[in-house]
Structure 1
Amino acid sequence: MTCALNYFLPTATLAEIGDKLSGYDPQALSADAVLAFLEKMVPPLNGKEDVAIFQALDRVLAHDVISPISVPPHDNSAMDGYAFNFQSLPRGQTLQVTGTAFAGKAWPGHLLQGQCVKIMTGAIMPEGSDTVIPQELVHIEGDTVHIAAGIVQSGDNRRLCGEDLKAGQSALPSGTRLGPAACGLLASLGIQQVSVKPRLRVAYFSTGNEILSLGQAPREGAVYDSNRYTVHGMLTRMGCEVIDMGVVCDEPTLLEAAFRQAAMQSDVIITSGGVSVGEADFTKAMMKKLGDVAFWRIAMRPGRPMAVGRIPQGERSCVLFGLPGNPVAVMVTFLAFVRPTLERMMGMHRQPLPLLKARSQEVLRKKSGRTEYQRGIVSTSPNGELQVITTGNQGSGVLSSMVQANGLIVLHHEQETTQIGEWVDVMMFDGHL
Structure 2
Amino acid sequence: MNPSIVPDFPSGLPFEQARAIVAAVAAAQRLPSQTLALARAHGHVLAQDVVAPMALPSFDNSAMDGFAVRHADLATDADSALQLVGEQFAGHSLGLAIGRRQCLRITTGAPLPAGADAIAIKESACVDGNRVVVPAGSVRPGAHVRRTGEDVRAGDRVLEAGWVMSPARIALAASLGIGQLEVARRPTVAVFTTGDELVEPGMALQPGQIYNSNRELLMGLLRGDGLEPTAWPSLADDPARVASMLQDAASSFDVVITCGAVSAGEKDHIPALLQHQAAAGRGRMHFWKVRMKPGMPLLFAQLERAQLLCLPGNPVSVLATYLTFGRALLDGLQGRLEPRPHWHARLASAFDKRHARREFLRGRLLPGADGTLQVAPNPADGSHRLAAAAQSDALIVLPEGEHAFVAGELVEVLPY
Residue 8 of structure 1 corresponds to which residue in structure 2? none
Match in the other structure for 2:388: 401
Shift of 1:228: 1.0
Structure 2: gaps of 5 or more residues = 1-6, 278-282
- In the TM superposition, what is the alpha-carbon distance from 1:120 to its structure 2 partner? 1.3
Of the three residues 223, 226, 243, the one matched with 1:256 is 243
Distance 2:129 2:383 in 1: 75
- Tell me, yes or no, if the aligned pair for 1:100 and 1:118 is still in contact at 8 Å: yes
CA distance in 2, matches of 1:326, 1:232: 16
Tell me the secondary structure at the aligned position of residue 209 of structure 1. Answer: coil
Question: Residue type matched to 1:344 in 2?
Answer: G
Match of 1:318 in 2: 306
Q: Higher mean Cα deviation, 89-98 or 180-189? A: 89-98
Structure 2 residue corresponding to 1:36, chosen from 20, 30, 34: 20
- The one-letter amino acid of 2:292's match is M
1:282 positional shift:
1.9
Q: Is 1:76 matched with 2:61?
A: yes
Do 1:89 and 1:113's aligned partners in 2 also have CA atoms closer than 8 Å?
A: no
* Aligned ranges 1:58-207 → 2 under 5 Å: 58-90=43-75, 92-96=78-82, 97-207=84-194
Measure the CA separation in 1 of the matches of 2:69 and 2:342. 46
In the TM superposition, 1:307-386 aligns within 5 A as 307-312=299-304, 317-355=305-343, 357-367=344-354, 369-386=356-373
Sort the Cα spacing of 1:143 and 1:378 in 2 relative to 1 into closer, same or farther, 3 A: farther
1:297 is aligned to 2:284: no
1:50 alignment counterpart: 35
**How many pairs align?**
402
Give the Å deviation of 1:249.
0.8
Q: Residue 31 of structure 2 contacts residue 334 of structure 2 at CA under 8 Å; is this kept in 1?
A: no
**Structure 1 runs not aligned, ≥5 long:** 1-13, 19-24
Contact 1:228 1:246 in 2 (8 A): no
CA-based RMSD: 2.2
CA contact (8 A) 2:74 2:136 kept: no
- The DSSP-based 3-state class of the residue aligned with 2:298 is strand
CA deviation after TM superposition for structure 1 residue 151, in Å: 4.0
Give the stretch that moved more between structures: 300-309 or 81-90. 81-90
Q: Distance in 2 between matches of 1:401 and 1:62?
A: 38
Q: 2:11 aligned to 14, 18, 26, which one? A: 26
Identity among equivalent positions (%) equals 34
Q: How far off is 1:50 after superposition?
A: 2.0
SS state at 2:196 partner? coil
**1:177-234 Cα shifts (integer Å, max 9, x gaps):** 2222222222212222222222211111011111112344311111111111111122
Q: Does structure 2 conserve the Cα–Cα contact (< 8 Å) formed by 1:62 and 1:197?
A: yes
| Residue aligning to 2:217 | 230
Taking the aligned partners of 2:307 and 2:315, their CA distance within structure 1 comes to 22
Q: Which amino acid aligns with 1:241?
A: E
Instruction: For residue 417 of structure 1, give the secondary structure of its aligned residue in structure 2.
Output: strand
Contact 2:260–2:310 (8 Å) recurs in 1: yes
TM-score normalised by structure 1 residue count: 0.86
Cα distance in structure 2, aligned partners of 1:169 and 1:322: 43
Give, in whole Å, the separation in 2 of the partners of 1:285 and 1:52: 45
Structure 2: how far apart are the matches of 1:352 and 1:414? 25
**Corresponding residue for residue 233 of structure 2:** 246
Shift of 1:361: 1.7
Shift of 1:53: 1.5
Question: What amino acid maps onto 2:22 in structure 1?
Answer: L
Could you say if the C-alpha distance between residues 387 and 334 of structure 1 is closer, same or farther in structure 2, counting changes exceeding 3 Å? same
How far apart, CA to CA, are the structure 2 residues paired with 1:118 and 1:409? Answer: 59
Give the distance between the partners of 1:415 and 1:185, measured in 2 at CA: 48
The more displaced of 178-187 and 245-254 is 178-187
